[in-house]
Amino acid sequence: MEWKEHIVSDVCELIVDCVNKTAPIVDYETEFKMLRTSNIKNGKVDTKNVRYVETEVYKKWTRRVKPQRNDLILTREAPLGEVGLLRSDDHVFLGQRLMLYRANSQVLNQHFLYYSFLSAHIQHQIRALGMGSTVEHIRVPQAEKLKIKLPPLPTQKKIARMLSTYDELIENNQARIAALEQMTQNLYKEWFVRLRFPGHETAEWVEGLPKGWEKKPFSQCVKINPSYKADKNKVYPFVGMEGLKQDSLIVSQTDTRALKGGARFTNYDTLFSRITPCLQNGKIGLVQFLQGDEIGFGSTEFIVFKQDKLPFEYIYLLSRTDSFRYHAINSMSGATGRQRVDNKCFDSFIVKVPPTNLLNDFSAKVNPMFTKVFNLQQKNLLLQQQRDRLLPRLLSGKLKV
């Protein structure tokens, strides 16, 4: 049975554009969150890295619609055509250049709508309609007239369930990753910030530190931007700034390139962003994806920390602490918007260095968690690839359910 093509506005209960002006934000957290185009990416809506507003602003900016769980959000510009499914009940609202779609459940399944917007059929329409000499964008009337192919509603639901199974597995793994990373951070703070390490009850204290501990500059405890030999005639795994996440240790290879400079690293090195606003946003990662002694390289805006007197687990978790990041941020210099960390700042950041046996005990506890995070991420990549192979076949009707 051939699928019938519809105008998307004819099969949606709501299609709502944003309020076309910037909402006044506050510099502290509230329960009301503004979504921007940067929050919509790869089928997801990020409700963590947002800006906040007061109650009255939220009410004013949601007078057209209050976004709810499973609403579809499209970016009309900068970038064009990103799609995300809202998977939370947070009090969010649309920032500029965003549109919201809510299906008419009598004829269209909301998740089928979401997967249709990810498909080549609708993405090609969006790209074809994109206009603008400097910034590609699609106008609201055009976004309302996109064409969607629909099978009978029962078939839509079956397809949506099949694809959603992959997304649910990915989401569950992401939750496990977040929990594991939080556990490692909590353990670091408990042992080395609050100094409630195993045996602290009976420890002797000398000048404010447990006996056997030392205070040293960070630069004397790690190798900063270590030298790695590489063949400039070969290609190597490359990591751009987009390969680092804002709230996770995961580092993803973004390309394979001939070596032309940039930061060099091996497994278990920490990549630390040195530029505004990447460092403020928390782009710090731990390399784990390389094979054996393989070398990778990346952005010139990375500072590389390699283990020396401190193990890599300690180094990564220390680099994620607010005190360490703020120390580096306060050293920044350069033109506004392109400021960079001064490497000399690591000479003045003092680290409490525990005895070797305590560091070894800490690594033994944390290392399996880091490995588990990496393995879960690899599973998610496979699930994503499988889903992406299925999606065009299911959404074109070539693969029968």
- Residue 134's pLDDT band (cuts 50, 70, 90): low
CA distances 317 to 64, 159, 248, 249, 303, Å, are 44, 42, 11, 9, 15
- Residue 133's pLDDT band (cuts 50, 70, 90): low
- Whether 131 shows a pLDDT value over 70: the answer reads yes
Question: Taking a C-beta distance cutoff of 8 angstroms, is the pair 85, 102 a contact?
Answer: no
Give the rounded distance of the alpha carbon of 250 from its chain centre.
Answer: 9
pLDDT at 52 (0 to 100)? 97
Q: Closest Cα partner for 191 from 369, 371, 329, 357? A: 357
Instruction: Report the distance separating Cα 32 and Cα 30, nearest Å.
Output: 5
- Whether 132 shows a pLDDT value over 80: the answer reads no
Per-residue pLDDT of 206-235, as tens digits, reads: 988 999 999 999 999 999 999 999 888 899
Instruction: Report the distance separating Cα 205 and Cα 99, nearest Å.
Output: 60
**4-150 placed in CATH 3.40.50.11540:** no
CATH of domain 214-353: 3.90.220.20
Instruction: Report the distance separating Cα 272 and Cα 266, nearest Å.
Output: 14
Instruction: Report the distance separating Cα 392 and Cα 116, nearest Å.
Output: 9
Per-residue pLDDT of 276-319, as tens digits, reads: 999 998 999 999 999 999 999 999 999 999 999 999 999 999 99
pLDDT at 247 (0 to 100)? 87
What b/e sequence results for 123-159 when a residue is b if at least 16 CB atoms lie within 10 Å of its CB, and e otherwise?
bebbeebbeeeeebbbeeebbbebebbbbeeebbbbb
Q: How many distinct helices (H) and strands (E) make up the chain?
A: 8, 23
**How is residue 30 written in tokens?**
């509230």
Q: Is 61 helix (H, G, I), strand (E, B) or coil?
A: helix
To 10 degrees, what angle do helices 153-188 and 356-395 make? 170
Contacts of residue 328, Cβ cutoff 8 Å, sequence gap at least 6: 272, 274, 279, 341, 345, 346, 349
Question: Taking a C-beta distance cutoff of 8 angstroms, is the pair 288, 256 a contact?
Answer: no
Per-residue pLDDT of 40-51, as tens digits, reads: 998 999 998 899
Instruction: Report the distance separating Cα 164 and Cα 304, nearest Å.
Output: 38
Look at the chain and count its residues: 401
**How is residue 236 written in tokens?**
């190597």
| Domain residue ranges of the chain, discontinuous segments joined by + | 4-150, 156-199+356-401, 214-353
Q: Is 110 helix (H, G, I), strand (E, B) or coil?
A: helix
Radius of gyration of the chain (CA): 24
172 versus 337: which is more confidently predicted? Answer: 172
Fold match between domain 4-150 and domain 214-353: yes
- Residue 372's pLDDT band (cuts 50, 70, 90): very high
Instruction: Report the distance separating Cα 316 and Cα 345, nearest Å.
Output: 17
User: Which residues make beta-bridge pairs with 143?
Assistant: none
Q: Could you count the other beta carbons within 10 Å of the beta carbon of residue 175?
A: 11
Percent of the chain scored above 70 by pLDDT?
99
Per-residue pLDDT of 97-124, as tens digits, reads: 999 999 999 999 999 999 999 999 999 9
**How is residue 157 written in tokens?**
């639901």
